[in-house]
Amino acid sequence: MSRPIKAILHTNNMAHNLQIITSSVKAHPENQNKTIKRLAVIKANAYGHGLAAAMEGFKDADGFGMIDLEDAAVLRKNGVTQDILLLEGFFHKSDIKTMLNLGVSTAIHSPYQINYLKEELPRLVSRGFKPVNLFIKFNTGMNRLGFKPSEAQKVYEQLAEFKSTGLIKSIGSMMHFANADTDNRDAEVVRIEEEFVKNCMNLGGHEVPVSLCNSAACVRYPRFAGIATENWIRPGSVLYGSQYFPNLNEQNVVHNFKPAMSLVADIIAIQNLKAGDSVGYGSKFTATKDCRIAVVACGYADGYPRSATNETEVGVLGKRAKLAGRVSMDMIAIDISHIPEANIGTPVVLWGEGGPNIDEAAQMCGRISYELICGITPRVPKVLDNGQS
């Protein structure tokens, strides 16, 4: 038998989360009669959940956003026909042929990518590839990727020249919010309206497809989700049950997302301690009274953060228990004195259904939810909630 730890992936919850964010943005009064398509973001191996879970959980999405062409190939091999968008674009000249072969669209954020297209597209015209979409990425304050909004018309005209190859279907505009998940947002909204809306939505004499909203922007600025006639939203973290948006608890949508992953490990040993006994490396937990300590088959080599303290909680049979001592490579200890029914083989929920949600777990460990779900190591089996692994 394998070590008793697994990450259970709740594909029904993933589908639920996609529907919740879709309904939320479409319900905004300014989004009536607008086309709003959903690009489920599955970068970083679907935020650590795996592509198999993503393909099942987000099968109703209109498209998928990712980073790696290799992942795009996996989706196509498994029969996924929806649009796929490379969020960081292509990195090498040779990627263009692969991209066209897979029917994958791409972001364009730098002049070198335009130059690569200029060199490669003419020689690929007669290969029988279907046309793909381009999205010009604009830098509206994140200062990572993208052209200046003032360059919009010039960049569009350069890319429009490639339409004669028959390999480019449409050219749209996209951007990424830097502060949608913080309180430092008012100036950003003004900048978006003055720079992106003014310069980047009407290109070449007509309105283009637009993609503005990530998860936080969908929740905080739903009107931007339908700002154009054709819109693509790019939800990521909320699809996986993460809903930590400071000062947004008053918006009910924040409370409706469900966990996409439950990290569960069994109790493998129990120690009965006397007052004064200590637990673990460095004796960071010392019993103040007689107590019952359970040893759980999960440690930092599984991706559970070593930064977790004695105040970090887990779920045991519907109750909460706190860690006792440092997280080891392969084990943690928890105080189950108040849960007498817990015994060898009892499952412990590190996060997910029956335990703290991913945002609670991350906060208790001094991390963010992305770090935890993306940090699950390969030795932890991932199991779909339908029993498939």
Q: Above 80 in pLDDT, residue 389?
A: no
Q: Which residue has the higher pLDDT, 312 or 33?
A: 312
Verify that 214 and 336 share a domain, yes or no: no
The closest alpha carbon to 134, from 112, 114, 111, belongs to 114
Q: Above 70 in pLDDT, residue 159?
A: yes
pLDDT for position 181: 60
pLDDT for position 325: 96
Verify that 228 and 339 share a domain, yes or no: no
Verify that 231 and 124 share a domain, yes or no: yes
Query: Which residue among 26, 37, 43, 148 is the active-site one?
Result: 43
* Position 1 in a domain: no
Strands 319-323 and 63-66, sheet pairing: unpaired
pLDDT for position 179: 67
Q: Which residue has the tokens 């968008």?
A: 85
Handedness of CA 331, 335, 339, 341 (dihedral sign): positive
Counting residues of the chain whose pLDDT is more than 70, the rounded percentage is 93
Verify that 330 and 208 share a domain, yes or no: no
Verify that 230 and 92 share a domain, yes or no: yes
pTM for the full predicted model: 0.92
* Position 335 in a domain: yes
**What CATH number should be reported for the domain holding residue 188?**
3.20.20.10
- Structural tokens at position 193: 């309206």
Handedness of CA 104, 207, 34, 143 (dihedral sign): positive
Q: What is the mean pLDDT of the chain?
A: 93
Verify that 86 and 221 share a domain, yes or no: yes
> Average pLDDT of 163-169?
94
- The question of whether 240 is a catalytic residue gets the answer no
CB 7 within 8 A of CB 263: yes
Angle at 135 between CA 124 and CA 196, to 5 degrees: 150
Verify that 147 and 74 share a domain, yes or no: yes
Q: Above 70 in pLDDT, residue 108?
A: yes
- Structural tokens at position 113: 């990518």
Q: Which residue has the higher pLDDT, 72 or 193?
A: 72
Q: Which residue has the tokens 């002049």?
A: 111
Verify that 234 and 284 share a domain, yes or no: no
- Structural tokens at position 101: 């072969």
* Position 3 in a domain: no
- The question of whether 300 is a catalytic residue gets the answer no
The closest alpha carbon to 259, from 369, 180, 343, 157, belongs to 369
Counting residues of the chain whose pLDDT is more than 90, the rounded percentage is 84
> Average pLDDT of 119-127?
92
3-state secondary structure of 207: strand
Q: Residues with Cβ < 8 Å from 261, sequence gap 6 or more? A: 7, 8, 9, 10, 48, 49, 240, 241, 351, 352, 358, 373, 376
User: Domain residues for 119?
Assistant: 11-240
Confidence of residue 235 (pLDDT cuts 50, 70, 90): very high
144 is in an annotated binding site: yes
Q: Above 80 in pLDDT, residue 254?
A: no
* Position 151 in a domain: yes
Confidence of residue 182 (pLDDT cuts 50, 70, 90): low
Verify that 154 and 280 share a domain, yes or no: no
**Chain CA centroid to CA 128, Å:** 34
CB 5 within 8 A of CB 380: yes
Q: Above 80 in pLDDT, residue 188?
A: no
> Average pLDDT of 34-38?
95
* Position 245 in a domain: no
* Position 234 in a domain: yes
pLDDT for position 317: 98
Verify that 208 and 312 share a domain, yes or no: no
Q: What is the pLDDT of residues 269-323, one digit of tens each?
A: 999 999 999 999 999 999 999 999 999 999 999 999 999 999 999 999 999 999 9
Confidence of residue 98 (pLDDT cuts 50, 70, 90): very high
* Position 255 in a domain: no
> Average pLDDT of 53-76?
98
**Chain CA centroid to CA 213, Å:** 13
- Domain count for the chain: 2
> Average pLDDT of 129-144?
92
pLDDT for position 357: 95
CB 251 within 8 A of CB 263: no
Altogether, the residues listed in the chain come to a count of 389
pLDDT for position 195: 82
Handedness of CA 278, 284, 287, 293 (dihedral sign): negative
